[in-house]
Amino acid sequence: MNIVFATNNKNKIKEITPLLDSKIKILSLKDISCFDNIPETGNSLKENAFLKANFVKQHYNYDCFADDTGLFIDYINGEPGVYSARYAGEDGNSKKNIEKVLQKLNGVDNRKAHFTTVISLILNDKYFFFDGSVYGRISLKIKGDKGFGYDPVFIPDGYDISFAQMPLSEKNKISHRAIAIKKLIKFFNSII
Ligand code: IMP
């Protein structure tokens, strides 16, 4: 069974491929020659994940899944949320995004936050959704240089180091995306 993962992020494809039964072949957007700028204009992670998967289904007629992730910070009513990638501007600069978060939480004690990932799957014209969240807090300053995005300021519950201070293998065991992907894999493996 061929299924498209609507991403150009090689790391995401690498993370999931070894976990799947060999009967399932994951194709990237590049593999199907999709170089479109897929719109992400939804107001929720679920909507955006669905928009991406549905775009591929409609335009390329492949079964497909797509993910969307956001960082939700309690004190600022869930910001940056669905706008996490471009919180500090359209260029999607992680350093600027982090600076904005630290500035908004300057002097604030309640630093609770969580990451959530939603995966939307379109298979045989049916829609399925899987999600995963990891809870933690925003650090007072940048810690570590691994990972990407908001990793240097996110400390998961039960740890006193940030995602950016952990080996990727450890982050991948507990992350929001890992939790959602595990649910997707369980589903795939139950239907083949
Ligand atoms: P995407 O939906 O996976 O593209 O994620 C949207 C944005 O959320 C990214 O541009 C990052 O800023 C942030 N993000 C997503 N996943 C992570 C993560 O695992 N660590 C830190 N930031 C993340």
3-class DSSP state of 173: helix
Contact 65, 120 (CB under 8 A): yes
Q: 140 φ, ψ to 5°?
A: -75, -30
d(CA 120, CA 131): 9
Which residue has the CA at smallest separation from atom 7 of ligand 1? 85
The confidence score (pLDDT) of residue 169 equals 86
> Does the structure show a pLDDT above 90 at 177?
yes
Residue to substitute in 148, 176, 177 for testing ligand 1 pocket (most ligand atoms within 8 angstroms of CB): 148
User: Taking residues 175-182, what's their average pLDDT?
Assistant: 94
Q: Token digits for 167?
A: 């080996």
Q: Identify the structural domains of the chain with CATH numbers, from first to last.
A: 2-191 (3.90.950.10)
CA 192 to ligand 1 center in whole angstroms? 30
Q: Which amino acid is at 145?
A: D
Convert the pLDDT of each residue in 75-110 to its tens digit: 999 999 999 999 999 898 999 999 999 999 999 999
The confidence score (pLDDT) of residue 20 equals 83
> Does the structure show a pLDDT above 90 at 4?
yes
What letter would DSSP give residue 40?
-
Which residue has the CA at smallest separation from atom 17 of ligand 1? 149
d(CA 106, CA 95): 16
The confidence score (pLDDT) of residue 96 equals 98
Convert the pLDDT of each residue in 125-165 to its tens digit: 999 999 999 999 999 999 999 989 999 999 999 999 999 99
- Mean of per-residue pLDDT scores for the chain: 95
The confidence score (pLDDT) of residue 93 equals 95
Confidence at 46, pLDDT banded by 50, 70, 90: very high
> Which residues are near ligand 1 (CB < 6 Å)?
67-71, 84-85, 94, 147-151, 163, 175, 177
| Ligand 1 atom nearest to 147, measured from its CA | 20
> Does the structure show a pLDDT above 90 at 18?
no
